[in-house]
A and B are shown apart, each in its own frame.
Chain A
Amino acid sequence: GKQQGSIMSFFKKQ
């Protein structure tokens, strides 16, 4: 099935 990813895996900490 599909898993919910975290938004933090797309946008990096500044």
Chain B
Amino acid sequence: MLELRLVQGSLLKKVLDAIKDLVTDANFDCSESGFSLQAMDSSHVALVALLLRSDGFEHYRCDRNLSMGMNLTNMSKMLKCAGNDDIITIKADDGGDSVTFMFESPSQDKVSDFEMKLMDIDSEHLGIPETEYHAIVKMPSAEFARICRDLSTIGDTVVISVSKDGVKFSTSGDIGSANVVCRQNNSVDNKDNETVIEMNEPVSLTFALRYLNSFTKATTLSNTVTLSMSKELPVVVEYKIAEIGHIRFYLAPKIED
């Protein structure tokens, strides 16, 4: 028996919006520690890892570990039927073939339940090694989204370079080229507006912009984003989910033959 009550139901709606275009089907894993998902996009270039910790739920009951295969397009259709202020409860029976999403309006005067069929998904769970990153950049998520969107009108790939001067995003295409440099700044008024660069050594990596643009659909989840990079390793693009967890996107770099 599984019963997870999330008061801020809009978070789950936003999570689905953030990943449904990248991943079609995925297993949601439920354990004592939380509600999680790990899935790759269909071309196996990117991986998304979601964690909603159990202590972030108002009520969290998970009698035994459960993996529920869901079509994210269908799940998103159902969650779209929840109001933004609704409390969402996810319910499932052990060994059942469906999951129920219950939506309660804040004043409790409207209660809906939507039952969705589960599916069997053969997914490979990948082990993500602990890594010391050469550079970690924390910046406003809207700024990162703006840069990815702007540069994708010029080129298909972006070179992200971190040096002591700042973080540089560069692209080029048929019509020309573009560079955007963000320097470290300290905002006294608002930590969310800060760009903070922690660098052990300079790093420069090339990525396909269309994946980064897809990741920025998570911008509504957090005011800041963190980019963690090491030479010739996937970048981690992380959005914290207020008080409850995170969504991390891993993207394989483009590497010289």
By size class, the interface of chain B is: 20 to 34
A7→B47 contact, CB < 8 A: yes
A3→B254 contact, CB < 8 A: yes
A5→B250 contact, CB < 8 A: no
A1-14 near B? 1/0 per residue, CB < 8 Å:
11111111111111
B252→A4 contact, CB < 8 A: yes
B254→A11 contact, CB < 8 A: no
Given contacts A7-B46, A7-B47, contact A14 B255 (CB under 8 A): no
Interface residues of B in 230-255 (CB under 8 A from A): 233-234, 250-255
Q: Does chain A have a CB within 8 A of B188? A: no
A/B pair count, beta carbons within 8 Å: 60
B45→A4 contact, CB < 8 A: yes
| Residues on the A chain within 8 Å of B254, using CB | 2-5
- Which of B45, B157, B233 sits near A6, CB closer than 8 Å? B45
B253→A5 contact, CB < 8 A: yes
State A13–B127 Cα separation when bound (angstroms).
Answer: 6
State A14–B124 Cα separation when bound (angstroms).
Answer: 7
B45→A7 contact, CB < 8 A: yes
B124→A7 contact, CB < 8 A: no
- Which of A1, A10, A12 sits near B252, CB closer than 8 Å? A10
Given contacts A7-B46, A7-B234, A7-B252, contact A12 B126 (CB under 8 A): yes
| Residues on the B chain within 8 Å of A8, using CB | 40, 44, 124, 126
Interface residues of B in 1-53 (CB under 8 A from A): 40, 44-47
Q: Is the interface of A mostly helix, strand, loop or mixed?
A: mixed
A10→B257 contact, CB < 8 A: no
| Residues on the A chain within 8 Å of B110, using CB | none
Min distance, Cβ A5 to any Cβ of chain B, angstroms: 4
B126→A14 contact, CB < 8 A: yes
Residue of A nearest to B206 (CB): A2
State A11–B44 Cα separation when bound (angstroms).
Answer: 11
| Residues on the A chain within 8 Å of B250, using CB | 7, 10-11
Residue of A nearest to B40 (CB): A7
- Which of B127, B157, B252 sits near A14, CB closer than 8 Å? B127
State A10–B252 Cα separation when bound (angstroms).
Answer: 8
| Residues on the B chain within 8 Å of A9, using CB | 252
State A13–B128 Cα separation when bound (angstroms).
Answer: 9
State A12–B208 Cα separation when bound (angstroms).
Answer: 22
B208→A14 contact, CB < 8 A: no
Residue of A nearest to B250 (CB): A7
Write the residues of chain B forming the contact surface with A, with a CB cutoff of 8 angstroms.
40, 44-47, 124-129, 157, 206, 208, 233-234, 250-257
